[in-house]
Structure 1
Amino acid sequence: MIPTINSLPDELLVTVIESAVFEAISIDRETCSECARIPNNSLVKTLSLVSHRFCRIAQPYLFYAPRARHDGSDLSYPLNPLAKLRDTLESRKALCSRIRVLTIHLTRYTAHEDLEAAEHILRRLARPSCLTLEAGDDWGHPSQSRSLKMAVIVAATQCSTSVRHVHIGGQSASISQLFESKWNSLARLDLRHIGIIPSLKGKTVEFGSASFTTLSVRETNFLSSSLERIVRWPRKLEHFAFIKLQGSTSALDWNNILLPILKHHSSTLRTIDIRCGIDRSNGEPLFDARLFPCLTHLRLRCIKNINVLGPSVTHFTWDLPRANSYSSTGQIIPDDEENWSQFGERHEARLRDIATAAVAQDAALRTIHIEFHPGNDGREGPNPWNHYNTFSAWYPWELMERVRDEVLRPSGRELTYSRPPFETKTAWQRDFSAAVKQRENFLKRKIAEIQARERERRARGL
């Protein structure tokens, strides 16, 4: 008898179904090893229609990574995901142990009943690994500030034994409540778009008590005292990211704020990722990778007068921003005084200095990566107007390759860069020529329109 898939025991069939439905989602700074692979619900539903046996095995994967969030814009929105998920878990209690990745999103329309549903769901979870707790902008509703506060407290007290990754976001999130939570197994904490946090002087923080080793702070404006308490909270910090993206162009005071804070974990940090401008109004930045003996991966925006060659740094990423950054005084920081959507000879010289120093010192550095995305005003593909205004006829990536071929590769090192909008120098120059011609035609039309209006004005005797 020829064996078929239906003749497989349940244990093997589970393995087959898992290999079919689980897929990698977009890997970014907000995912970890637990939530980077989740089931494809469309495939799960399709497999559930094959047979009763397939349905029994596949259907619970629909609850592996549920997202309970409001997508409506008013109080009468008919579908309430929080209440539906609560009722489903209440009627099928076995599914509570299936949830590994849970997202709860609370908006300004979240009613008291929905808050109770969120609390009920979190209490029912058996062994979740990743929790995403988001609160929308408070929109002038002070009561909204308690929504995420409650969810965080409940998640901390009910799921503390299994949760490995917590992502907290939203203007109305309360960071002060974090310090009241006991995260016994937490490995990663992500904070996003929290807003300006007041000083946490009233909160007693037991420094060196938290278990997480990875901390990411994104699109958030902290007072230095608050940031220091959060950074010093874990016993040891191995991975740290401070990211300000769209809508946030303030530069970071490295000397007076961040560097003194990170020195508390100088002996354990392995990754430092700073994706914002560095404010040098209080003196030149003093970052020296040699202060972090275990540091292997470093990502910075500013590299002027900064030593990136630490004893263990093997990968350095130069992050060229898409927009200018501003100091605390409102001035464009010196490293951003020209449009950063270009890469010219000045940038090549800085890159060559790092590469030459790495070779001369026989440093641990093996790879330099350049994040370079020419601005396009949000349009699809390269924008010839930006191309005309910010680039010469040279091919910017040719300058990077010149340093790679002349300095790095002969010493066994490598240079990589993000994918360019033009794959070849010929295509780049062809677009440059077209942009120049388009610009010239535009100026000719403008001049002709001005001359025509002037002739009309004179004809009317004005």
Structure 2
Amino acid sequence: MFLSGSQKARSVRQTYLGPSGQKRLSIVDRDKPDPEKAFIWRLPHEILAHIINIIASDPNHSPDNHGTWRQLSVKYRTAGFTSLELTDYGESPEATKQLIAWPKSLVHFYLGSFYDNPFCIDLPMLSEWLAIHKDTLKSIDIGSLSRGGDRRLFNACDFPKLEVLALSRWQLAGWSPHRDEGLTFSPLDADLLLGASLHTFTLDFTVHDQHSESWTDFGEREEHWVAKVARAAITRKAALRKIKIIFTPDYWTGREEDGYPWDRMDRIHDEISPHGLVLEYNKPALTKEEWLQVLRQESCAQSDTESLDALEMEDSERTYEGGDIREYFPRL
């Protein structure tokens, strides 16, 4: 039920339910000529009345007003929806905390890309806010968050009913310059992630930016981290049965010494599958043979370019370091 991806995102809030009969509240950021009326007819009475009150009570509201929810409060633990989805989200931490506290109980929570949001929200903050629904939440999916946030992991062990957890890889160690510095496994990672009921953990490498993830983003550090989480789950006899890796890079360039990312994933798969733990991941963007062929072609092209540059430099030096100009004229 989301609006077309071709529509230009703007600072406009529409709140609506998904398919008829589902108790799900979704907030999206899309271009719509009349946001007050957009999809309002899909709302049950309690949500419709609340949205109308929000619009009516905000004297500064306009279709381009950023942060409709920011200065408004909701009735604590009163709403009937059980699934909250926030996509292209641009509200403040206080507004987000209020939204999470609005429903009587949450079963599913999804927060998409937080890219280019002026506010700071991180995993510990979300863990704290969602804790009021710890006895009902079954799935949590959190995309890439603020670059400057706390780099601690989400505490899945605080949610005894949580079965499915998806996190952005970029929250494991934050963004540059801390990206490599923090991507080192510790037993605390397993303590936080391996919840009592968690059977599926997804590590999402998607980059919500003008560029996709890099071919080298699943490297040695990522391989070691995933493998050690899996070993900890096996050793502790945790509920975890599946690890999913979302990795769909564009290939631009690379080096053979960086390794083939799917070799790394295959190694983890082969190690853990005999223990009943599944590693699921995307099909390769290029087969290893295709990748090696591209590398060889790039190497040959680079060698040809370097040879041509050397010849041009040699010719240039001869031009500038020529002998006496009289040598170029015939002697009389």
How far apart are the structure 2 equivalents of 1:204 and 1:432? 57
Do structure 1's residue 266 and structure 2's residue 144 form an aligned pair? Answer: no
- For 2:282, the equivalent position in structure 1 comes to 418
Query: TM-score normalized by structure 2?
Result: 0.68
Corresponding letter in the other structure for 2:113:
K
How far apart are the structure 2 equivalents of 1:362 and 1:373? 31
Residue 265 of structure 1: how far off its partner (Å): 1.7
1:136 to 7, 31, 36: 31
Q: Cα 1:308–1:204, aligned 2, differ >3 Å: closer, same or farther?
A: closer
Say if 1:274 and 1:299, in contact at 8 Å, map to a contact too: yes
Do structure 1's residue 309 and structure 2's residue 179 form an aligned pair? Answer: no
Do structure 1's residue 213 and structure 2's residue 77 form an aligned pair? Answer: no
How far apart are the structure 2 equivalents of 1:208 and 1:296? 23
1:387 counterpart SS class: coil
- Percent identity, aligned pairs only, is 24
- For 1:351, the equivalent position in structure 2 comes to 226
1:288 to 155, 164, 178: 155
- For 2:299, the equivalent position in structure 1 comes to 436
How far apart are the structure 2 equivalents of 1:255 and 1:367? 22
Q: Which moved more, 1:395-404 or 1:282-291?
A: 282-291
Gaps of 5+ in 1: 1-29, 32-66, 72-104, 109-126, 138-143, 167-175, 182-193, 326-337, 377-382
How far apart are the structure 2 equivalents of 1:160 and 1:253? 28
After superposition, the C-alpha distances for 1:32-62 in whole angstroms (9 at most, x for unaligned) are xxxxxxxxxxxxxxxxxxxxxxxxxxxxxxx
1:362 to 229, 237, 244: 237
Q: Cα 1:198–1:437, aligned 2, differ >3 Å: closer, same or farther?
A: farther
Say if 2:106 and 2:133, in contact at 8 Å, map to a contact too: yes
- For 2:95, the equivalent position in structure 1 comes to 226
How far apart are the structure 2 equivalents of 1:446 and 1:262? 60
Aligned residues: 283
Do structure 1's residue 257 and structure 2's residue 132 form an aligned pair? Answer: no
Say if 2:127 and 2:155, in contact at 8 Å, map to a contact too: no
- For 1:56, the equivalent position in structure 2 comes to none
How far apart are the structure 2 equivalents of 1:132 and 1:162? 17
1:419 counterpart SS class: coil
In the TM superposition, 1:351-390 aligns within 5 A as 351-376=226-251, 383=252, 386-388=253-255
Say if 2:70 and 2:92, in contact at 8 Å, map to a contact too: no
- For 2:261, the equivalent position in structure 1 comes to 396
Say if 2:97 and 2:129, in contact at 8 Å, map to a contact too: yes
Corresponding letter in the other structure for 2:140:
I
- For 1:405, the equivalent position in structure 2 comes to 270
C-alpha RMSD over aligned residues = 4.3
Say if 2:157 and 2:196, in contact at 8 Å, map to a contact too: yes
2:109 counterpart SS class: strand
Do structure 1's residue 200 and structure 2's residue 70 form an aligned pair? Answer: yes
Query: TM-score normalized by structure 1?
Result: 0.51
Q: Cα 1:372–1:161, aligned 2, differ >3 Å: closer, same or farther?
A: closer
After superposition, the C-alpha distances for 1:411-462 in whole angstroms (9 at most, x for unaligned) are 1111110121123x33332222223223333444455555556665667x9x
Say if 1:212 and 1:234, in contact at 8 Å, map to a contact too: yes
Say if 1:271 and 1:296, in contact at 8 Å, map to a contact too: yes
Q: Cα 1:134–1:411, aligned 2, differ >3 Å: closer, same or farther?
A: closer
1:392 counterpart SS class: helix
Gaps of 5+ in 2: 11-18, 56-63, 173-182, 325-332
Q: Which has the higher contact order (CA 8 A, sep 6+)?
A: 2
Q: Cα 1:421–1:179, aligned 2, differ >3 Å: closer, same or farther?
A: farther
1:206 counterpart SS class: coil
Residue 311 of structure 1: how far off its partner (Å): 0.6
2:136 counterpart SS class: coil
Residue 200 of structure 1: how far off its partner (Å): 2.7
Q: Cα 1:272–1:458, aligned 2, differ >3 Å: closer, same or farther?
A: farther
Residue 252 of structure 1: how far off its partner (Å): 5.6
Corresponding letter in the other structure for 1:414:
V
Q: Cα 1:392–1:160, aligned 2, differ >3 Å: closer, same or farther?
A: same
Residue 289 of structure 1: how far off its partner (Å): 1.1
